Copies of this chain bind each other. A is one copy, B any other.
Amino acid sequence: MAKDQKKQPRPKAETPKGFRDYFGADVTERKAMLDRIAEVYHRHGFDPLETSAVETVEALGKFLPDVDRPNAGVFAWQEEAVPGGGSGDWLALRYDLTAPLARVAAQFRNDLPTPYRRYAMGPVWRNEKPGPGRFRQFYQCDADTVGAASVAADAEICGMLGDALEAVGIARGDYLVRINNRKVLNGVLEAAEVRPDQAEDVLRQIDKFDKVGRDGVLALLTTGRRDDSGAQIDGVGLSEAQAAPVLAFLTSKGAGNAETLANLRAAIGSSAIGAEGVDELAEIAALLAAAGVAEDRAVIDPSVVRGLGYYTGPVFEAELTFEILDEKGRKRQFGSVAGGGRYDGLVERFTGQKVPATGVSIGVDRLLAALRAKGLAGAEAAGPVVVTVMDRDRMADYQTMAAELRAAGIRAEVYLGNPKNFGNQLKYADKRSAPVAVIQGGDEAARGVVQVKDLILGAKIAAEASVEEWKAQPAQTEVARADLVAEVRRILG
């Protein structure tokens, strides 16, 4: 076998395109964030669910339901059909956490409580063209309530989302949960006398509201407009009178929920479904107020259009409202970090029965990026105390030192590389972001002392100090061996 290997070219040490690894603080910071979110979800009565990463293509459905990515694919393969073994089924990696929830809700419908509140956190996979910052494996963090028809479930999730954002460190005032309702839009379409065959086109144009604004959408709904490149984009062909309720809907946000709801009632005219939608929003507003969630945390906002095409009732989105600098150094709002809403037909594919459900998904990478931008993540990156090896025959002594430090709760390790070159040991400590190095040669051992080097102070001195200051080595202290732990603790603060 060794011979065979020599003939073959060496394999490339690379992840597949679009995949990546997470090292050290990348892992711990995300984990700390998700742990805090999980605690909030758990306190709200949500139970964790971890489904298998692999599903049958049949159970998963072949395509993503998200209208933003209609052609997105899955990683799928066919099992070998082996007697007593593989089934010949097509299997695939899950592309989100909702499709597996649908399968679980159907498979275990007789065992799960109704309603079933669950949260799920884990990787999902998309067979898409990778690009900068766009990976084919990424984390999702979802909470859903299955089997609750009441919009109390939607209100609960909106409030919980705010709690989760605060739990990870986003200050009140730095986020806003904005809530809309697909039924109100349906009412508006009725009031505007939009024909059923036009509805999808109208929805598509509304989806551009964030980008092209009121006048842009007006043009797109009526006679069309020219885009930035000068190309003519056809309009849907509504009259201005028809477009008016749609624009009224999109721009009906008032100074507070009461005013917004009044504007919406005007926009839907006499539509029954529209009135149902406005009533739902009013109930959500009342429930949030009762739960102490003020309008500066969660607010009715009909300009939320993302996902309106996918969801069937209330729709919500959490935005971070503080400003960051973009790649070009311009200030901009951080923007959306979570979205969700109410959807039907989750379980229907499997059982034929409609089961109401509502849920939210937090964009894990985006929220983590926000925490980093605000300086709220990164403290975990501190490296271990490194016990250096001056004398390789006394490895047991060095291990004892490290064991003592660890017993005191201090992260510590012995240098385990070739100890010959002491400079390499300090370079290693630097690479490890070690705050302290411990040094004991034979001379120090004989005198019962140990050198403790403050590497953070040392780096500061190296950068700023004069030669005289540097020579005085204030960052290195000799202490009695028995005082090692106390001295390290003093330096770590």
Contact = CB atoms under 8 A, between A and B. Distances in A.
A7 interface: no
A155 to B, nearest CB: 7
Copies per complex?
A: 2
A56 B21 contact: no
Interface string A19-57: 111111011100100000000001111011111111110
A137 interface: yes
User: Which of A20, A76, A386, A418: most chain B CB closer than 10 A?
Assistant: A418
B125 A399 contact: no
A287 interface: yes
A428 interface: yes
Nearest to A52: B19
A388 to B, nearest CB: 13
A351 interface: yes
Given A11-B350, A54-B137, A396-B290, A47 B20 contact: no
Contact of A77 (B15, B77, B147): B77
Interface string A286-299: 11011110000000
Contacts of A150: 392, 395, 416
A384 B43 CA distance: 8
B43 A409 contact: yes
- Which of A79, A86, A432 has the most B CB atoms < 10 Å from its CB? A86
A481 interface: no
Contact of A416 (B51, B148, B352, B428): B148
A2 to B, nearest CB: 9
A149 interface: yes
Interface stretch (A112-120, A302-310, A443-451): A112-120
Contacts of A411: 42-45
Nearest to A30: B50
Interface stretch (A101-109, A176-184, A256-264, A482-490): A101-109
Q: Which of A52, A100, A153, A418 has the most CB of B within 10 A?
A: A52
B16 A416 contact: no
A58 interface: yes
A75 B61 CA distance: 20
A14 B413 contact: no
A100 B148 CA distance: 43
A399 B136 CA distance: 40
Given A155-B399, A416-B145, A416-B153, A48 B28 contact: yes
Contacts of A351: 10, 13
A53 B123 CA distance: 9
Contacts of A76: 77
A480 interface: no
Interface string A305-342: 00000000000000000000000000000000000000
Interface in A361-389: 383-384, 386
A416 B54 contact: no
A486 to B, nearest CB: 18
A417 B136 CA distance: 37
A214 interface: no
B11 A23 contact: no
B107 A14 contact: yes
Contacts of A5: 349
A431 B47 CA distance: 13
A22 B43 contact: no
A414 interface: yes
Given A10-B350, A55-B16, A286 B396 contact: yes
Contacts of A397: 290
Contacts of A270: none
A58 B416 contact: no
A214 B392 CA distance: 39
A406 interface: yes
A292 B145 CA distance: 51
A238 interface: no
Contacts of A53: 53, 93, 123, 125, 137
A183 B413 CA distance: 27
A291 B59 contact: no
Contacts of A149: 418
A45 B432 contact: yes
Interface string A80-113: 0010111101010100000010011011100001
Q: Which 8 A-B pairs have the closest CB atoms?
A: A45-B413, A290-B396, A77-B77, A13-B106, A19-B52, A148-B416, A45-B384, A27-B48
